[in-house]
A and B are shown apart, each in its own frame.
Chain A
Amino acid sequence: GAGVSQSPRYKVAKRGQDVALRCDPISGHVSLFWYQQALGQGPEFLTYFQNEAQLDKSGLPSDRFFAERPEGSVSTLKIQRTQQEDSAVYLCASSFSDRGKSPLHFGNGTRLTVT
């Protein structure tokens, strides 16, 4: 596709439910990033993939958060037993290479609301 695609655009979950958020990066992009953006804040790094390898997951807030990219393209961010503090916009971004200069292309995000 022309850009990074994320689905669903909106997700409402009851506390305790599991959710799965999907990211379709730009074709051929090696690097994929997940960010969490709380209301009124800047995005905060969650995790990073280079192809199928998860090279950095230092930003995942708890072991309830899990991300995968099994074939080096589409990625899924899974949140188990959702809590109210998980409510945020989850942004996915991809870039052509892992070099710092390669710009990140962001999707429109998934807004997760936990009730």
Chain B
Amino acid sequence: AQTVTQSQPEMSVQEAETVTLSCTYDTSESDYYLFWYKQPPSRQMILVIRQEAYKQQNATENRFSVNFQKAAKSFSLKISDSQLGDAAMYFCAYRSLLNTDKLIFGTGTRLQVFP
């Protein structure tokens, strides 16, 4: 069974600085999707960025980028030029291509942004 691990329960960053959130996963599959979701106090899960495992190029969405290391099964999220609105829970998630129904989430990292 696949598992997702987020080892940082909390992180903090100064406004305008850069922060990296860590995620590792375990799978025996060769093809899959990885996601980062943001969950503000409103509770809605918002998709931040997505990576297909067959793509070697790291995904980028504006200030958000990932460092995808397939061999190491690592998928970290880098937030550049942090803004106060980035403060939220961040969840890493795995989705199999063979079993496309489930998203498997990590336990989350709470990000605080200080002015």
Contact = CB atoms under 8 A, between A and B. Distances in A.
Interface residues on B, range: 20 to 34
B84 to A, nearest CB: 21
B105 interface: yes
B102 A45 contact: yes
A76 interface: no
Interface in B88-112: 91, 93, 95-97, 100-108
Interface residues on A, range: 20 to 34
B47 interface: yes
A83 to B, nearest CB: 22
A103 B105 contact: no
B33 A100 contact: yes
B16 interface: no
Nearest to A31: B101
A100 B96 contact: yes
Contact of B47 (A33, A40, A89, A103): A103
B105 A48 contact: no
Given A31-B101, A48-B102, A101-B33, A106 B44 contact: yes
Interface of B: 4, 32-33, 37, 42-47, 50, 52, 91, 93, 95-97, 100-108
15 contacts: A31-B101, A33-B101, A41-B107, A42-B91, A43-B105, A45-B104, A48-B101, A59-B102, A89-B43, A91-B45, A101-B52, A104-B103, A106-B44, A108-B44, A109-B43
Chain A to chain B: the 7 pairs with minimum beta-carbon distance, closest first:
A42-B105, A106-B45, A48-B101, A100-B100, A109-B43, A45-B102, A100-B97
Interface of A: 31, 33, 35, 40-45, 48, 55-56, 59, 89, 91, 93, 98-101, 103-104, 106-109, 111
